[in-house]
Amino acid sequence: MGNKPGGGPVPLEAPLALLPERVAHLNRRYRHHSATSVLERAVTDPQVGRITLVSSFGAESVVLLHLVSVIDRSLPVLFIDTQMLFPETLAYQAEVAAKLGLSNLQLIRANTDDLGLEDPDGTLHQRNTDACCDLRKTRPLERALSGYDAWITGRKRFQAGTRAALDFFEEDGAHRIKVNPLAHWAPQDIQDYMTNNRLPRHPLVAKGYPSIGCAPCTSPVKPGEDPRAGRWRNSAKEECGIHFVNGKMVRGPLSQGETA
């Protein structure tokens, strides 16, 4: 069953057997829809199933959070606290959740035993950023998503070259769908939406942080630099790992014969 604003089930359509078939069907069905329409349909369409929003409460997160709050404030929202976030992000998360009336916010953290074994002194990020992201983001999120058929992200095509072909719906492994309602939005669309809806801004944006992750791995961005230049600066790393499948970037439907 899919979700329905207000908590009730929606009638099932004839199920599509395979995940690639479902993703292709959804992208065809909603290709010309707006972000609001894609999001509204995603939380009710039985071809999507049980769904949650994953939010970093970063520089642009409030747009998607606001859209969700208008549709269904009780939709589960997963917030990954890596325990290395800026204090400003934690304060902003509390402010936004209260302002928007999000009633089902779930805090996700790494397993305490895993932290003790793999990063007892909190310096793993200095030696291996990929391992740190895996420990503090990827694995905790995967555990949290185990009860869902789909999850909503705020990814957009303009954010990185690796996202240039981003679709509204993607395969995420063999059994789950990733939904990107803002895939086609431009930077100005984001700013206009925030302004028109009088949404609070992350306090670090005004200090030169247009893209915000963990404090040790995020630095201010100079005028003219790519907005994500401050993420893992001086390295080839562009993604934290939660948007990879078996070590590969997921850009869209998997090609025939490629396994998840």
Domains, the chain, with CATH or none? 19-249 (3.40.50.620)
240 among known catalytic residues: yes
Torsion angle (degrees, nearest 10) of CA 82, 139, 60, 179 = -160
Question: What would the DSSP string read from start to end of 83-126?
Answer: S-B-HHHHHHHHHHHHHHT---EEEE---HHHHHHH-TTS-HHH
Distances (CA, A) of 140 to 80, 109, 111, 133, 145: 8, 6, 7, 10, 9
What pLDDT score was predicted for residue 1? 47
Share of the chain above pLDDT 70, in %: 79
Give the lowest-confidence range in 68-72, 106-110, 128-132, 149-153.
128-132
| Catalytic, out of 132, 133, 214, 240 | 240
Hey, how many other C-beta atoms are within 10 angstroms of the C-beta on 158?
Answer: 16
Task: Say whether pLDDT at 252 is over 80.
Answer: no
What pLDDT score was predicted for residue 232? 67
Task: Say whether pLDDT at 235 is over 80.
Answer: no
What pLDDT score was predicted for residue 236? 52
The closest alpha carbon to 181, from 96, 90, 70, belongs to: 70
Tell me the pLDDT tens digit for each residue of 85-117: 999 999 999 999 999 999 999 999 999 999 999
Report the pLDDT averaged over residues 109-132. 94
Higher per-residue confidence, 232 vs 61? 61
pLDDT band with cut points at 50, 70 and 90 for residue 255 = very low
What pLDDT score was predicted for residue 202? 96
Distances (CA, A) of 219 to 58, 205, 224, 228: 14, 11, 15, 10
88: phi then psi, degrees, rounded to nearest 5: -60, -35
3-state secondary structure of 51: strand
225 Cβ contact list (under 8 Å, min separation 6): none
What is the helix (H) or strand (E) element at residue 55, kind and residue range? strand 51-55
The closest alpha carbon to 157, from 171, 148, 149, 168, belongs to: 168
**In DSSP terms, which residues pair with 152 in a beta bridge?**
53, 179
3-state secondary structure of 127: helix
pLDDT band with cut points at 50, 70 and 90 for residue 84 = very high
Give the lowest-confidence range in 150-159, 160-169, 209-218.
160-169
What pLDDT score was predicted for residue 174? 84
Using an 8 Å Cβ cutoff, are 19 and 51 in contact? no
Task: Say whether pLDDT at 181 is over 60.
Answer: yes
Report the pLDDT averaged over residues 80-88. 96
> What's the pTM?
0.80
What pLDDT score was predicted for residue 157? 74
